[in-house]
Amino acid sequence: MTEASGRQGDDPPEGRTPAAPRGSGPLLDVRDLVVHHGQLRALSGISLTVYPGEVYALIGANGAGKSTLLRTIAGLHRPTSGSVSYEGRDVTGLRPEKRAAAGIVMVPEGRRLFPSLSLEENLKVGASYARKGPWNIERVYELFPWMKERRAQQTAQMSGGEQQSVAIGRALVANPRVLLLDELSLGLAPVIVQRIYAMLPQVLSSGITVLLVEQDVSQALRVATHLQCLLEGRSMLEGTPAEVTRAQVEAAYFGADVASGEHPPETPPLADGSNALWPGSTPSSRAC
């Protein structure tokens, strides 16, 4: 299942971002990307196409190549071969700061804030390469109301969820067209993850397109209009959440060949009755 166009006539399931029409040209187009870390081949011929207004989710286990793909799109890794095009222009050789100034902005895994700087100083760093647009520090304070009264506090003194919110705010003040979100939920409590994802509709309504990496498959399926599953640097599944089944996702995640009768391994249960692949999701609540 590749380059699926989505179902434009149906209402999306509750909580899922509505699919954007794919009538216009792509905003981001990645073709046959190969990336090495030294002798290790991290990505093998990966392609994806992201259209304006989409939430495109990359899923897969640790080491699948998701973060490498995002970092290559941001310009932090140089591909061995293949291309990255943005707004119809080849940006494969463009430096990271030039891509940020053009509108490709990343929220990295681990947040990567300046711990000795205050909340507001970190936001000002994000504005260094800002394009003209609707986002500024005051609007970030409207999105995250708790920030304003704590703007002078060092980010090192904040919780993981608060730091993640600051990292998102730092990216937003740059006024991106494409926002790259790497592992938003990593290491955070489920209630904090829900609060962070609750801001996504406001981000999308401002004209931003989102490409996100997420290990929580059920969370990715709730918010995505399009998804791709990677395994060991290769694409195993691509389509819209409405078109993929739980069995297909699990087979792609683990590399099982369902057609030949091979079944993916059972994932261990968590305390709430869900499992490690579908955290926070019970059989009656899963999106697929």
Which tens digit of pLDDT belongs to each residue from 252-263?
Answer: 999 876 444 455
Per-residue confidence at 12, pLDDT binned at 50, 70, 90? very low
Predicted confidence at residue 109, as pLDDT, reads 80
Per-residue confidence at 190, pLDDT binned at 50, 70, 90? confident
In three-state secondary structure terms, 119 is: helix
Pull the structure tokens for residue 187.
Answer: 């290491």
Whether the predicted model's global pTM rises above the 0.85 cut? no
14: pLDDT strictly greater than 60: no
DSSP string covering 237-287:
EEE-TTT--HHHHHHHHHT--GGGT--PPPPPB-TTS-BSSSTT--TTT--
Place of tokens 């711990």: 115
Predicted confidence at residue 9, as pLDDT, reads 37
Alpha-carbon distance of 218 to 225, in angstroms, equals 13
143: pLDDT strictly greater than 50: yes
Pull the structure tokens for residue 134.
Answer: 């609707």
Q: Over the chain, what is the mean pLDDT?
A: 83
CA atoms within 13 A of residue 29's CA, in its CB half-sphere: 11
Find out whether 177 and 103 touch, Cβ atoms under 8 Å. yes
CB atoms near residue 108 (< 10 Å): 18
Q: How distant, in Å, are the alpha carbons of 172, 251, 256 from that of 259? A: 44, 10, 9
Residues near 218 by Cβ (< 8 Å), separated by ≥ 6?
Answer: 278, 279, 280, 281, 285, 286, 287
Q: pLDDT for 215-242, tens place per residue?
A: 889 889 999 999 999 999 999 999 999 9
Q: Which residues pair with 57 in a beta bridge?
A: 212, 227
Residues near 184 by Cβ (< 8 Å), separated by ≥ 6?
Answer: 107, 164, 168, 193, 196, 197, 212, 214
Pull the structure tokens for residue 24.
Answer: 């216009």
Q: pLDDT for 101-125, tens place per residue?
A: 999 999 988 668 888 899 999 999 9
Per-residue confidence at 213, pLDDT binned at 50, 70, 90? very high
Alpha-carbon distance of 50 to 30, in angstroms, equals 9
